[in-house]
Structure 1
Amino acid sequence: MKKLTGIICFALILGFSSAANAQDADDSKVKKEVKEGAHAVEKGAKKTGQKTAEVASKGKAKVTDEVYKDKVGPNGETIYIDNHSKYYWVDKKGHRHYVTEAQLKAKVD
């Protein structure tokens, strides 16, 4: 009976030590996966924030400023006219880009 108890204790100790070593080896993989996941979340959050800023800026421009119906921007963007009669378009990050009347192109339907 003492031999059986000793063998069981030895097997348990051996099992715990090998599990601890396996955990250390997997730990670096887990850290790498967490880092990659955090990067993906950060990238997604940034993209979502930029899209939100774009939608908010365009929405505000449509409400407060006039849309120039006959002309488009240098790359086909919608042109808005503010209360100071300046022309601008809104980019993907929600920033206004002012343009001169000479930079505007005729709208092609």
Structure 2
Amino acid sequence: MSKIRIAIVAALMGSAISLTSMAQGIEKTAKKVGEKIDTTAKKVGNKTASTAVKGVSAIKDKIYKDKQAPGGEVVYIDSKDRKYYVDKKGKKVYLKPSQIKDKE
């Protein structure tokens, strides 16, 4: 009888170790998926904000024809005659005259 008990205890311990390592693997996978979702959500949010601000700027402000901002971005002129472009996060970046270039 003692050999059967030893075998059962060994099987139970092996199962417990296996379940523990499997749970750790699931936690790691869940963490990776959560990080991926967080990164993607930030990218989508930034793109949405950028598109919204560019849309409002195109309607409300003037577009500076034949000029571009660093990186080839569209240059807008607001009501106070300030020049700016909209970055990837949807923020208005005001430009110095030296930063405005002719379109290529």
Pick the TM interval, shorter chain: 0.7 to 0.9
Partner residue in 2 for 1:106: 102
Following TM superposition, by how much is the alpha carbon of 1:70 offset from its aligned partner in structure 2, in angstroms? 1.9
Contiguous gaps of at least 5 residues in structure 2: none
Secondary structure of the residue aligned to 1:67 is strand
In structure 1, what residue type is equivalent to 2:91? Answer: H
For normalisation by structure 2, the TM-score amounts to 0.81
Instruction: Note if 1:81 corresponds to 2:104.
Output: no
Following TM superposition, by how much is the alpha carbon of 1:77 offset from its aligned partner in structure 2, in angstroms? 1.2
Partner residue in 2 for 1:44: 40
Looking at structure 1, the residues matched to 99 and 21 of structure 2 have their Cα atoms a distance apart, in angstroms, of 61
Partner residue in 2 for 1:63: 59
In structure 2, what residue type is equivalent to 1:104? Answer: I
For normalisation by structure 1, the TM-score amounts to 0.78
Partner residue in 2 for 1:54: 50
- Overall identity of the aligned pairs, in %: 37
Secondary structure of the residue aligned to 1:89 is strand
Superposition RMSD on alpha carbons, in Å? 2.1
Q: Which has the larger radius of gyration?
A: 1
Contiguous gaps of at least 5 residues in structure 1: 1-6
Structure 1 runs (4+) deviating above 2 angstroms are 16-22, 100-103
